[in-house]
Structure 1
Amino acid sequence: MKIETFYTQGESTLNYDPSVPCIIVNNVGFATSEEFRALLNKGLEFLIEKQKIHGKIGWLSNLVQADAYSEDDMKWVATDFDARAYEAGVRHVSFVLAEDAYAFANFSAETYQKYSQEEIGEKIVIRNFKDEASAKAWLREVLSRQ
């Protein structure tokens, strides 16, 4: 099955992989708070459409080429976006992080995961991976057991 790009913002893209199934957010470079939030909200809209087809769907955020995001944005994701994603059926999120442990986006992912744990606990299970293939394999496995 072919991966479909359904939204582009600068160099960042929102993709859909029906073979998993999952929404893939490829974050590239810097994004303002407004751009970052718009990208995630657009992804959630599309996820809701595709969830009607599959009944269950995963979320994959590829941060390998991303810059850092603000702490306020990470709080927003954990306190606002996560609740809406959970309501829409998201139970599993995979992150693809840069191998460089000091990559700025990796710190943003850690910050988000800390806030998310405080807000929703294990309602949404989050795992980190070094490549997209591993992240998709995990999502396929956990979605097949739901």
Structure 2
Amino acid sequence: MADTVLFSESYGSVLVDEQVPCVITQWHGFANQQQFRALQGFALDYFEQRSTPARPWGWVGDVRQMSAIPQAVQEWLRDEFNPRATAAGLREVSVVLAESVLGQLATQQYADRTAQAVTKGSYELRTAYYPTLAEAKQGARQSLAQTAG
């Protein structure tokens, strides 16, 4: 079954794969602060409506084409987005590795900030990295099976 596109702009898309099940945020290039927050917020609203303890959902961040992430957005991810996502049941973000250096740095900053928040006991959230979208979906599926098991 093909992924369903829920949101699509020049800078990114939100898709779902009901078979995993997971939300996929797919970046197509640079997104300014408003654009980034709008796409992530849309995806999180959808995730919160669907993920339940009986049927948790995964999250795949396809950042292959992502560019830099503004500093204010990095802080928003750590301080607002992650707590909301974990409250809705998210325990692991499966990330498809960025191809550009800027995307790699942005992804590493996100992972570092998340790890710091986890260390402080703010929330529980892991980041796992995969070379392809198919492998990231499989990783999300396995993580969900472990969560449910």
TM-score, length-scaled by structure 2 = 0.89
Q: Retained in 2: the 8 A contact 1:56–1:143?
A: yes
Q: Counterpart in 2 of 1:85? A: 85
- Please state how far the C-alpha of 1:32 moved relative to its aligned partner: 0.7
Identify the structure with the greater strand proportion. 1
1:4 aligned residue: 4
Question: What is the identity, as a one-letter code, of the residue corresponding to 1:125?
Answer: R
Q: Give the share of equivalent positions with the same residue, in percent.
A: 26
Task: Go from structure 1 to structure 2 and tell me whether the alpha carbon gap of 1:79 and 1:137 turns closer, same or farther (over 3 Å shift).
Answer: same
Q: Displacement, 1:11?
A: 4.2
Matching residue of 1:111: 109
Ranges in structure 2 where 5+ consecutive residues have no aligned partner: none
SS in 1 for 2:2: coil
Deviation per CA, 1:70-117, whole angstroms, max 9, x where unpaired? 1221121011100000011111101111355xx211100100111111
CA distance in 1, matches of 2:58, 2:13: 16
| Residue aligned with 1:2, SS | coil
Aligned mates of 1:53, 1:38 — CA distance in 2:
26
What are the ranges of 5 or more consecutive residues in structure 1 without an aligned counterpart?
none
Following superposition, which runs of at least 4 residues in structure 1 exceed 6 angstroms of deviation?
none
- Whether the 8 Å CA contact 1:99–1:130 is kept in 2: the answer is no
Retained in 1: the 8 A contact 2:68–2:105? yes
2:145 aligned with 1:144 = yes
Count of aligned positions: 144
Q: Which moved more, 1:118-127 or 1:32-41?
A: 118-127
Say if 2:52 and 2:88, in contact at 8 Å, map to a contact too: no
- Please say if residues 21 and 54 of structure 1, whose CA atoms lie closer than 8 Å, have aligned partners that are also in contact: no
In 2, the alpha carbon distance for the partners of 1:24 and 1:58 equals 9
CA 1:87–1:75: 2 relative to 1, 3 Å: same
SS in 2 for 1:66: coil
Residue-by-residue CA offset, 1:24-61 (whole Å, 9 max, x unaligned) = 00011111101101110100011122214962011111
Give the 3-state SS of the residue equivalent to 1:56 in structure 2: coil
CA contact (8 A) 2:90 2:125 kept: yes
Q: Provide the rounded CA distance (Å) in 2 between the counterparts of 1:107 and 1:98.
A: 9
Provide the aligned C-alpha RMSD in A.
1.7
Counterpart Cα distance in 2 of 1:142 and 1:62: 17
